[in-house]
Amino acid sequence: MIDRTWRDRARLGLLAAITFVLAHDIAFLLTFGSSWQAVLARTGHGNAWNDTALVVLGLAVALAIAGLARLGRLARMARCLGGGRSTAPQAGHGALVQGLHRAWLAIFPVSLALFIVVENVERMSAGLPAPGLDVMGSLGFAGIAVLFGIVAGVTALVDALYRWRRAVLIARIEAARRRPARAAAVGARASVPWVERRHAAIAGHWIAGRAPPRALAA
């Protein structure tokens, strides 16, 4: 079984790859307009890039389907255990904001680094000199950084919303599972008849304080 930490890293890595592909093509589209595909071909973006983009987008679709299926199963379980009620605890919106922040800090730098590395490799494969960090100048350094920041923000928001919703459903399921145990414990206590413990002591004291019968005293 894969450790949860590694699952999280793999998920964030895939989200960074998705962000890279989307922001990469958007950057070329914004810079070169309708001729962006021709520019991609001149700068080494051939069939390999198209295949890579298709694979990444396919994984994105698979990840989305798996996430929606997981949320669907949890929602059905929560409804069944809760009897249709939704009074279980809700995850605070602070958790959503924190999840968004953490995901963005992981996705943004990785996706931007992928852009720099891949662009240099593709230009060298096309016989062009490697531009290094100057590749950021295709839209201006600030333009590329802002674009990747926005796309990474959207991707991180989707991830944070999924994790937040999953936490809400898991909290409802756990609360519903604890409810029957608490009800059974209360019922068991209520079924024991109430006994005034002082009755036995009072009766014993009264019997002990009585005088013996006259026949025995004689």
Residue 57: CB partners within 8 Å, gap ≥ 6? 18, 21
Give the tens place of pLDDT for each residue, 94-128.
888 999 999 999 999 999 999 999 888 888 877 87
Measure the CA–CA gap between 76 and 37, rounded to whole angstroms. Answer: 45
Q: CA-to-CA distance for 160 and 105, rounded, in angstroms?
A: 12
The pTM score is 0.72
pLDDT in tens, 55-64: 988 989 998 9
Q: Per-residue confidence at 194, pLDDT binned at 50, 70, 90?
A: very low
38-72: string of b/e by CB count within 10 Å (b at 16+)? eebeebbbeeebeeebeebeeebeebeeebeeeee
